[in-house]
């Protein structure tokens, strides 16, 4: 099998809340415990990565991978406003040291969807104060752990809030149309479920409107507002710009402490395609999903690209997935060609910017299908490198089956299965297959 070269990173990704367990000071933990939660189940112990990180990193390294992208949990580091937990800093220092021990490059993300609960109570991600608060946290991490890091992603999928807004608007229009028709047919329900496959995160649109109203009342008690501005909630244009400012502020303070650290951001990008009559809508979608961020990221050291599938636009907007298409457990179309397409598109608009694929994967119970998916995407990555595009790494989502946000534990993205009754790890053949790309 063709190797990518000694300087190319081939690894796997996780997010703290999805794997560590007991993230009790976070906004997500609070939302999961609600009586009228939109989560199908709570995260609880997750897959206990907090205590089993060495076993997991060794497993990754033994398979041949040389990079591990993981997140530091802000809610652990700063559980109360202006109170920083030194023991949690030491925990992540040990995780980083463990990576070094096994010759694995630690690629750290400072914010992967979850926030301290106090931050959301103070106004959350639609309030300008978050820019300063995130910068304070980023500087603290740079001071405490920066000497041991080469790569930092500030914010995971900074554009997710706009994607959530778009799908929320489509969902509300659908609900309004149903109310007018007073028609609760099975066909309508099926359409609602497919909406969830249009955004690259696990969300749950199956709750009835009355339950959503009760949930809003519960939010008011917990966060002080019926519509808390968490990171994975619908954003205004102002909220979107706040995220951009938070990234730039974090990058500035990291560089002030450790100028040698390479700093970037990650975005969730679909392979945007169109059929006759859909070109303008497709171009507008790409502008919202990627291009309008360029002024805020063009001076970064690298770009974190996250892709899972494509979106096809027609004259009436986004089109349904073709009936004959294979779907993942997340209702995404299985379309591994998407990754090569978006690498080329990003490179055309950010020429020369090093590209790190920070997430790409498939939710399936069929590991043979996962292996075929990996083979197809890696062929595409190799094509891009051969054409001179500066792709510097590929991190598969995810290292282990884990907590897929509002979807719970039923979505299996992992290169390793976990028996959550015992927390025993069961590496899949796909883990060794991905690692084989690093072996001569």
For the chain, the average pLDDT equals 93
Q: Which pLDDT score is estimated for 199? A: 66
Q: What pTM value is reported for the model?
A: 0.94
SS (H, E, C) 279-341: HHHHHHHHHHHCHHHHHHHCCCCEEEEECCCEEEEECCEECCCCCCCCECCCCCECCCHHHHH
Q: Which pLDDT score is estimated for 210? A: 76
**Does any domain span residue 372?**
yes
**Does any domain span residue 407?**
yes
Q: Which pLDDT score is estimated for 214? A: 85
Nearest to 48 by CA among 361, 428, 402: 402
**Does any domain span residue 1?**
no
**Does any domain span residue 185?**
yes
Which segments in the chain show pLDDT lower than 70? 1-3, 169, 171-202, 205, 207-208, 440
**What is the domain-level CATH number for residue 115?**
3.20.20.80
219-254 confidence digits (pLDDT tens): 999 999 999 999 999 998 999 999 999 999 999 999
At 109, list the tokens: 């993300």
- How many distinct structural domains can be found in the chain? 1
**Does any domain span residue 3?**
no
**Does any domain span residue 126?**
yes
SS (H, E, C) 333-377: ECCCHHHHHHHHHHHHHCCCCCEEEEECCCCCCCHHHHHHHHHHH
Dist CA 216 CA 36 (whole Å)? 9
Q: Is the dihedral of CA 123, 403, 212, 222 positive or negative?
A: negative
Q: Which pLDDT score is estimated for 355? A: 98
**Does any domain span residue 292?**
yes
Distance between start and end Cα atoms, the chain: 7
Provide the domain limits for residue 270.
9-438
Q: Which pLDDT score is estimated for 191? A: 45
Cβ-in-10-Å burial (0-12, 13-18, 19+) of 77 comes to buried
Helices (H), 84-159: 86-101, 117-121, 129-145
**Does any domain span residue 194?**
yes
Q: Could you give the angle at the alpha carbon of 25 between the alpha carbons of 22 and 31, nearest 5°?
A: 85
Distances, alpha carbon 275 to alpha carbons 28, 170, 197, 282, in Å: 39, 20, 20, 9
Q: Which pLDDT score is estimated for 193? A: 42
């Amino acid at each position: 099998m063709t190797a990518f070269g000694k300087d190319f990173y081939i690894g796997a990704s996780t997010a703290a809340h999805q794997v560590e367990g007991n993230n009790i000071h976070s906004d997500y933990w609070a939302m999961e415990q609600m009586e009228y939660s939109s989560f199908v189940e709570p995260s609880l112990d997750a897959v206990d990565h907090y205590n089993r990180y060495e076993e997991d990193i060794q497993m990754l390294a033994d398979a041949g991978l040389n990079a591990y992208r993981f997140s530091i949990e802000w809610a652990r580091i700063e559980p109360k406003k202006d109170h920083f937990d030194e023991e949690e800093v030491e925990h992540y220092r040990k995780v980083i040291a463990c990576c070094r021990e096994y010759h694995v490059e630690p690629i750290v993300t400072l914010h992967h969807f979850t926030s301290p609960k106090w931050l959301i109570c103070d106004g959350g991600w639609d309030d300008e104060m978050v820019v300063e608060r995130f910068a304070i946290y980023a500087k603290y991490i740079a001071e405490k752990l920066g000497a041991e890091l080469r790569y930092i992603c500030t914010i995971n999928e900074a554009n997710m809030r706009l994607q959530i807004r778009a799908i929320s608007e489509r969902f509300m229009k659908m609900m309004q149309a149903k109310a007018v028709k007073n028609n609760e047919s099975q066909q309508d329900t099926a359409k609602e479920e497919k909406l969830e496959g249009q955004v690259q995160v696990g969300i749950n649109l199956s709750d009835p409107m009355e339950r959503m109203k009760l949930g809003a009342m519960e939010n008011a008690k917990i966060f002080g507002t019926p519509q808390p501005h968490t990171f994975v909630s619908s954003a205004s244009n102002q909220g979107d710009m706040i995220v951009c400012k938070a990234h730039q502020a974090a990058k500035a303070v990291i560089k002030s402490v450790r100028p040698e650290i390479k700093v970037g951001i990650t975005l969730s990008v679909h392979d945007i395609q169109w059929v006759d009559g859909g070109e303008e809508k497709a171009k507008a979608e790409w502008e919202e999903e990627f291009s309008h961020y360029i002024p805020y990221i063009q001076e970064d050291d690298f770009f974190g690209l996250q892709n899972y599938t494509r979106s096809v636009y027609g004259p009436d907007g986004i089109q349904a997935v073709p009936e004959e298409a294979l779907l993942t457990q997340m209702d995404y179309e299985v379309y591994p060609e998407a990754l090569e397409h978006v690498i080329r598109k990003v490179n055309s608009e950010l020429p020369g910017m090093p590209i790190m694929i920070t997430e790409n994967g498939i939710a399936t119970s069929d590991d043979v299908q996962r292996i075929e998916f990996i083979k197809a995407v890696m062929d595409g990555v190799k094509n891009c490198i051969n054409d001179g595009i500066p792709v510097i790494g590929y991190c598969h989502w995810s290292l282990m089956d884990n907590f897929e946000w509002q979807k719970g534990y039923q979505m299996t993205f992992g290169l390793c299965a976990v028996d959550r009754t015992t927390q025993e790890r069961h590496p899949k053949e796909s883990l060794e297959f991905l690692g084989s790309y690093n072996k001569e």
